[in-house]
Chains A and B, each alone.
Chain A
Amino acid sequence: MTIRMLGRHLREGCKNLLRNGWMTFASISAVAITLLILGATLVIALNAQQLSNYVAGQLQVNAYLKQNVSSAQAQQITAEVKALPGVSSVRYVPKQQGFKDLQQRLGKDYQDVLQGFSNKNPLPDKIVVQAADPKQTLSIAQKIRALPGVDRVDDGKQVVDKLFRFLDLVRNIGVVFVVGLVVMAMFLISNTIKITIFSRRREIEIMKLVGATNWFIRWPFLTEGIIIGVVGAVLPFAIIAYAYHSVYARLGGTFLAVAFPLIPTAQLAQKLALVMFGLGIVIGVWGGIMSVRKFLKI
């Protein structure tokens, strides 16, 4: 297709849109609302994913050794853990160190309580293990559990499971919502284009009679759909990007008090633009093809 043709198709598409102002407005609004909700869902979903990755990355196995294990034996066990496949880092925390850490964490107010234990440290020795791949955390924990001298292994499974289940739910609800809206937007677009086609039936009939190709006839309606899709994506994109940017700036890049990092605005905006404009165009093209199909059968 030549540039000259492209120009003609674009011109025709714009003309149609202006001629049916209100329907155009309705379709663009439908696309905009759909994409607004889609975009918001996407922001939440992406951040949720980021959160789950973050949590998974933080996931560590705490293996507590039996009280009767000597310091030499503890070193031995640590070496054994280190040798397990899929383990990325191992840190041995002797009970004295654990006590100091606890003291520090509790702060001044509880010094008295801890003081009572200073001679008889109740804490076990601890080995902190991090898996190279978060998904392997559980199997590694299982293997550590089998080692002699290991008393108890805490793999954080329950917390993580709950979190993942919640995130899945959020995502599924989002998907259902968005699919419904996309269908509605497509329906509205195809209706708008049908109206422009209806008012141009005669033109299409003549085009066919004098030997215009189907694609030549289709293009103006496709550009019409694409314009609706793109224009419908601009506003919600701007709104969401701006809103996210403000929230991000206000929170200083972390989510509430939990030290969980949010996705930087620029990075998120990139993904958002790809999805929103992409989907806007897909909705538009689909609407255009559906509405023009019937009229080309001569």
Chain B
Amino acid sequence: MIEMQDVWKEYPNGAKALNGINVHITKGEFVYVVGPSGAGKSTFIKLMYREERPTKGHIFVNGFNIERLKDRKVPLLRRSIGVVFQDFKLLPQLTAYENVAFALEVIGIPKRHIKRRVMDALDWVGLADKAEMLPSQMSGGEQQRIAIARALVNNPAVIIADEPTGNLDPDTSWEIMKLFQRINDRGTTIVMATHNKEIVNTMRKRVIAIEAGQIVRDEEKGLYGYDD
């Protein structure tokens, strides 16, 4: 499903973000990526949907060979991945419904199919009744659920989340985590970078710890392992 073999990443400014990463994530896994800020978590995540390219090494995601993937084909890779961010990345001028529909519209799905799929996705995150609201009229947790609905609407095999609870209070964070658990339960792989110690230590999953661009720990049902 996701495979990295001796992956290195050095940015043009000379910063060495990753130094020899080897990792294998199988279908249906739920993985936390933890580590101090600037250790390379974000780069690790960005490599998976090819926002960044590795300087060296091999990466395979959902059957795509990232290093051989032509620019033209990148959209196909991205359609097989759902991404969720700390800042939600919703379009403020669009309603909840339109934000989710946007993801289908721009990949050329006909209008007649869009409505049902969007309503299904909104239903799934429990916000079907708020479809006509603008993001500014919703709470942070609701906005993140809309973003999750958008990531889900295309039925991706993998969901990649970069600190999805970073902007949310603890109660809301737990609701979002339950949602991710449900997504995982139906077989979708989840890779989540997080700083949330309480969540990692309570909802036990595989933990990959990255420090100074290297994997220093990779254990099933691991602990957060840092003091912050």
Contacts and interface: CB of A to CB of B under 8 A. Distances in A.
A210 B150 CA distance: 9
B89 A202 contact: yes
Given A202-B89, A210-B78, A216 B83 contact: no
Contacts of A298: 51
Contact of B75 (A8, A203, A212): A212
Given A5-B108, A216-B106, A216-B108, A209 B89 contact: yes
Contacts of B102: 206-207, 210
A4 B102 CA distance: 15
Contacts of B72: 213-214
Interface in B33-83: 49, 51, 71-72, 74-79, 83
B14 interface: no
Interface residues of A, number: 18
A211 interface: yes
A168 interface: no
A66 interface: no
A211 B83 contact: no
A95 interface: no
B203 interface: no
Given A211-B76, A211-B78, A206 B110 contact: no
Interface string B188-202: 000000000000000
Interface in B76-99: 76-79, 83, 89, 91
Contacts of A207: 102, 106
Instruction: Bin the interface of chain B by size.
Output: 20 to 34
A202 B78 contact: no
A208 interface: yes
A133 interface: no
Contacts of B155: none
Contact of A212 (B89, B107, B110): B107
Nearest to A1: B108
A209 B76 CA distance: 11
Contacts of B172: none
Contacts of B75: 211-214
A208 B75 CA distance: 7
Nearest to B76: A211
A229 to B, nearest CB: 25
Nearest to A206: B89
A212 B154 CA distance: 12
A205 B89 contact: yes
B1 interface: no
16 contacts: A5-B108, A210-B78, A210-B106, A210-B107, A210-B150, A210-B154, A211-B76, A211-B78, A211-B154, A213-B75, A214-B72, A214-B75, A216-B107, A216-B108, A217-B106, A298-B51
Interface of B: 49, 51, 71-72, 74-79, 83, 89, 91, 102-103, 105-108, 110-111, 150, 154
Interface of A: 4-5, 8, 202-203, 205-214, 216-217, 298
